[in-house]
Amino acid sequence: MTYAASGVDIEAGDRLVDLIKPAVRRTHGQRVMGQHGAFAGMFRLDFNEQIFQRNYTDPVLVACTDGVGTKVKLAADLGILDTVGIDCVAMNVNDLIVQGAEPLFFLDYLGLHNQDPETTAQIVEGVARGCEIAGCALIGGECAEMPDIYAEGDFDIAGFAVGVVELHRAVDPVRARAGDILIGLASSGVHSNGYSLVRRIVDKRSLRLDRAYAALGDTPLGKILLEPTRIYAQPIVKLLRRYRVKRVVSAMAHITGGGLEGNLPRVLPDNLDAVIDTRTWEIPPIFTFLQSRGDVDTDEMYRVFNMGIGYVLAVRPSFADSVLRQLQRSGETARIIGKLAKGTGDVQLKGRS
């Protein structure tokens, strides 16, 4: 008996390490240490050389972990594997920057039925691309071949991100005040939450993933649903660096599972409500399409999906226009969507129909 006969191909794993080396190396800067394929990645937090200008006085490490959820099932069914890696990075770094942190490095975990190096390399290429967009290094990961756990063609991916923030620069929601302006950043679509409902709608309504529906334009439904989660890291980090003295951003939230109503209360003090006018942005067609085809109640849509807003900042009123312009110059579709008001830590969504 051999390991390969039981479903685990060591040689295939070794080939994968060689295949992904160029993609991983593209994410490395001067602070990454050690060799590709080592037992653990090494990252130098600080430098004395002035050229780097990233020395920290009172650094706080920030860490988080997340996956992509059942969006991977859709990717596996369609055979489109080069985007869920971007999703995995996004789901982590978008959480990380909520604390005001700069993403430093990322590690991924991939569990699959069997190791096909060329196929697996597509997934890891997506992870590397996500790290490039986020401005962090991919310093390690794991590919676990488990034929007894995953059915043929199935896989799962999760990640772990670490960032750093100066203690006095960390975003602390207790600074939020009534009157602070809420700025919303557009999502790129469904992102990586609610796919159990999405897949149920597709299945129950016999929707074809390879078909382009009139309500969605010329792009096939499956490709729209696999649009990667937008990564907000670099625009947010750039914005925060511009205000080294003034603390103009009082709170931030990554709008993931639970939507606006489920995520904004996580960063609000108990005496404030977020009052949002849903008429300030246009709901992306994919959400109205899913709602109509699945006969989903509007309240349920807002409880499950981001509905077009992927990230929210609360900023001081006198700086709102400036922050808005800076985010727009960074390529974000940003708009004022509401404000903070005295309340009980809830979200009030106005204008829903």
Domain ranges of the chain: 10-169, 173-350
Query: Phi first, then psi: what are they for 336, rounded to 5°?
Result: -75, 125
Q: Which one-letter amino acid corresponds to residue 348?
A: Q
Token pair of 131, please? 């790290």
Q: What is the pLDDT of residue 13?
A: 67
Which superfamily, per CATH, for 10-169? PurM-like, N-terminal domain (3.30.1330.10)
Closest CA to 322 of 243, 267, 231, 234: 243
Angle at 265 between CA 261 and CA 269, to 5 degrees: 155
Q: In what order do the strands lie in the sheet with 249-254?
A: 249-254, 309-315, 181-186, 334-342, 272-277, 347-350
Number of Cβ atoms within 10 Å of the Cβ of 51 = 7
Q: Which one-letter amino acid corresponds to residue 344?
A: T
The CATH number of domain 173-350, selected from 1.10.340.30, 3.40.47.10, 3.30.450.40, 3.90.650.10? 3.90.650.10
Q: Which one-letter amino acid corresponds to residue 82?
A: D
Q: What is the pLDDT of residue 80?
A: 95
Closest CA to 343 of 278, 268, 279: 268
Q: What is the pLDDT of residue 42?
A: 83
**Are the C-beta atoms of 165 and 97 separated by less than 8 Å?**
no
Q: What is the pLDDT of residue 52?
A: 52
Q: What is the pLDDT of residue 55?
A: 67
Distance CA(215)–CA(164), nearest Å, equals: 43
Mean pLDDT by 10 residues, the chain (353 residues): 62 71 80 76 71 71 95 95 97 96 95 89 95 95 90 94 91 89 98 96 96 96 98 96 87 96 94 97 97 96 97 97 97 98 95 75
